[in-house]
Amino acid sequence: MKDLFTIQTESGQLWLDIKAQLDAKDAEHAAAIAAKDAQLAALADQHAAALAQAATDQAAAVEAAKLAIQVNLDALVTAAEAAHASGDLDAIAAVIAQARSYTTAARRAKIEADLASAQAAAADAAAKLAAL
């Protein structure tokens, strides 16, 4: 069996042509890998931007929910004052029942469900980003 040096020596120009072809293929593969790496980096940037936007949207939703609760509580106070001024016990009871929806276990369960949903969405987004 001939060694590599003997094959190179006997092949002459053919060996140089083969080496040039192999070098060209290596360069093509390196360029393809670089392009895929750039594509993955772009996707990672898109996912990071999407996660940041989701966090911003979630924060805005929390602030909107806080504002809505404040508006509702303000309306309850106004309704309670009017019911008290009129001496209408049924209206006072209705205001108390409405106020309980903001403070009872049902409200806490809704908040916990919303939090679990937000955490699941964040975990899903993180898993997608990690899959890249």
Please write the tens of the pLDDT for every residue from 4-17. 788 878 888 887 88
Taking each continuous run of H as one helix and of E as one strand, the counts in the chain are: 4, 0
Instruction: Report the predicted TM-score, pTM, of the whole model to 2 decimal places.
Output: 0.49
| 4 residue type, one letter | L
Buried b (16+ CB within 10 A) or exposed e, 97-109: eebeeeeeeeeee
pLDDT tens, position by position, 104-131: 677 778 778 888 888 888 788 878 777 7
> Which domain range does residue 77 map to?
4-131
Total structural domains within the chain: 1
Are the beta carbons of 118 and 58 closer than 8 angstroms? Answer: yes
118 residue type, one letter? A
- 3-state SS class at 103: coil
